[in-house]
Structure 1
Amino acid sequence: MSARRGLVVILVVPLASCNLVQSPLNPVSPQARELLWLFVVFVAVLGAIWLAVMATLALSLRPRRPAGADPLAVDPAYERRAVALVTGLAIVTGLVVLVLTGLSYAGQRRLFGEEQAGITIRVLGHQWWWEVRYEDAAPDRVFTTANEIHVPVGVPVAISLDSTDVIHSFWVPSLMGKQDLIPGRSNAIRFTAERPGVYRGQCAEFCGMQHARMSLLVIADEPAAFARWRDGQVAPRREPASEEARAGEAAFVAAPCALCHQVRGTAAAGRNGPELTHLASRRTLAAGSLPLTRGSLAAWIVDPHGIKPGVNMPLIPLEPDRLNTISAYLAGLE
């Protein structure tokens, strides 16, 4: 490889991560924009300081004394200038630290200021998936989903964060900064999505073998679309429309699946795994590990540990016919 080609590769490869799918450089909320502004200010100020230090270091390497000069000779005027310069730089350093601290403090006050929330959500971290519960004053409007969060555009959202096992970290960089989920302690974040879109998030605290495959999607909908989605999620499961789906529901309820998963409107009432009442309305399976299709559902049921080693879902031996009917049933839970 030529030197020119190698230089091109070195310069281009870092740009491969600049697709803005999961990036703090693509803010779509006031909170994310505040964090980006702080980031830019800190990088600019500290970058300028680094350049000044490097320039000073380069200047200090120049020979200052003529050849043959007495190494013990002292220049009082030069020493006074050096003392004044170092003192001035120490004062400037203190002022820069104070200014950056003040900006950081003011930014945190704006980020975590109290604001009346229009939507309240509780997110519970598990190894390795997200349980999402939409709270409401009316008990019949409360529902649970998994790994995807829908929010209305322009409405403040309050999310409480808890964990059932180890420390996780909720991070959707286009909407807000990181916040830990700590067992036995509740944390909270707030954000307001300003435009529709799908914004990827990720657990940002190492939480075990499948930490890298613990992602989530935040989907910002127009208020009318969000209202329709929420009404659909509150409703019980849709009645199976085909003979295959009805057989699949019977097989699902009779299998060990019903001990861990809930499908409202059926005898399946487990709470150890993700809620499945409207599973097919989601975009991915297993916290972003697979696209949600009938084929991926079958693959996940047959061998979850081959796809995501270490998960808590047990291996369940199923005959091919039962597997087909169950996957067809789950694929129809919209």
Structure 2
Amino acid sequence: MWMQSALITAGPSAGATGTLSWIMFAGAAAILLLVVAFTAHAVFGGARRGWMAGRHFVIVFGIAMPIVVLTILLVYGLTLTSRSTARENPAMRIEVVGERWWWRVYYVGPRGDRQFVTANEIRIPTGVPVEFVLKTNDVIHSFWVPSLAGKLDMIPGRVNRYQFSAGRPGVYRGQCAEYCGAQHALMAFYVVAMERDRFPTWLEDQQKPASEPVTELGVKGRELFIATGCGACHTVRGTTASGQIGPDLTHFGSRRSIAAGSFPNNAGTIAGWIASAQHLKPDNLMPSFANLQGEELRAVATYLENLK
């Protein structure tokens, strides 16, 4: 599923938050109905409403009941939160860095070494706890995948960590939940939860160099990609492109979206993004390459689309 909703949960952490939310909603609804009933009785009850002005009514419903109800909800909420934030030994570790306005994603090996880097899409195996190490290089961002877990801020100069797992395979949309600048609303990402037995193969494939183009148009696109200086900002492993400013594009074609979840990933949107990045997402760090002609754009887009 691609819908972003805190009401559709697919993991234990989000499930606990959902349960707490529904209990809070139910408690608030019950209190609202009680207040409405008392108000109606006070307005329309006539002589029978005198008991509501008594001292006992104020003590029971004005003091005792709010204290009891709020205490129960507070204790339950704290207990549920402590359980949902308890840490296990993670099956894997992923480091996510908030950028302007996209997500740099490092897969970290068991010895703490970075195995490879990708962008704007995170793949995890189902049914196992994954630790997320959250950082930012510019301003405060907030990492949030509502169907899987709560939000956690990414603060400059600080490393925040939390864990969650996906209970079933699927595609879950995430979003920056802290205003971070002009294109905050266009700073999304996807978490793809895969069957556990398929995940090691994907992990191994991601560590390989980029695939070679198999068509004449793809070969031309690779030549243009290098010649126009794209490699100054982007890395494509297996080529001379080794830039670190922008996203790693080694397996770019396998991602579901471009520009941090802003557009679907296909040759048409790739060409449009290359030519008009500043029009589509103003003030991002990708310049618009309006100097490229239609056939050149199609060649570069074809090359990138096939980097899988």
In which range does the TM-score fall when normalised by the shorter chain? over 0.9
Is this contact kept in 2: 1:140–1:234, CA < 8 A? no
Q: What is the letter of the counterpart of residue 82 of structure 1?
A: G
Secondary structure of 2:44's counterpart equals: coil
- Superposed, which structure 2 residues align to 1:20-169 within 5 Å? 21-62=3-44, 64=46, 82-89=54-61, 90-137=63-110, 142-169=115-142
CA distance in 2, matches of 1:140, 1:189: 19
Identity of aligned residues (%): 41
Change (3 A) 1:20 1:328: closer
Counterpart check, 1:280 vs 2:253: yes
Is this contact kept in 2: 1:124–1:162, CA < 8 A? yes
Secondary structure of 1:154's counterpart equals: coil
1:64 deviates by 4.5
CA distance in 2, matches of 1:33, 1:255: 48
Counterpart check, 1:310 vs 2:283: yes
CA distance in 2, matches of 1:40, 1:122: 32
Aligned pair partner of 2:269 in 296, 305, 310: 296
Structure 2: which 5+ runs fail to align? none
How many equivalent residue pairs? Answer: 305
1:331 deviates by 1.4
CA distance in 1, matches of 2:111, 2:76: 41
- Structure 1 length-normalised TM: 0.85
- Structure 1 partner of 2:209: 236
1:26-57 deviation digits (Å, cap 9, x = unpaired): 21111111011100111111111111112212
Change (3 A) 1:63 1:156: closer
- Structure 2 length-normalised TM: 0.92
C-alpha RMSD of the superposition: 2.1
1:141-174 deviation digits (Å, cap 9, x = unpaired): 7111111111101111111111122222111111
1:201-222 deviation digits (Å, cap 9, x = unpaired): 1112222222221111111111
- Structure 1 partner of 2:296: 322
CA distance in 1, matches of 2:269, 2:93: 32
Change (3 A) 1:25 1:63: closer
Indicate the structure (1 or 2) with the bigger Cα radius of gyration: 1
Change (3 A) 1:235 1:55: same
Secondary structure of 1:207's counterpart equals: coil
Is this contact kept in 1: 2:10–2:166, CA < 8 A? yes
CA distance in 1, matches of 2:178, 2:113: 34
- Structure 2 partner of 1:254: 227
Q: What is the letter of the counterpart of residue 154 of structure 2?
A: L
1:65 deviates by 6.1
Is this contact kept in 2: 1:280–1:332, CA < 8 A? yes
Is this contact kept in 2: 1:141–1:234, CA < 8 A? no
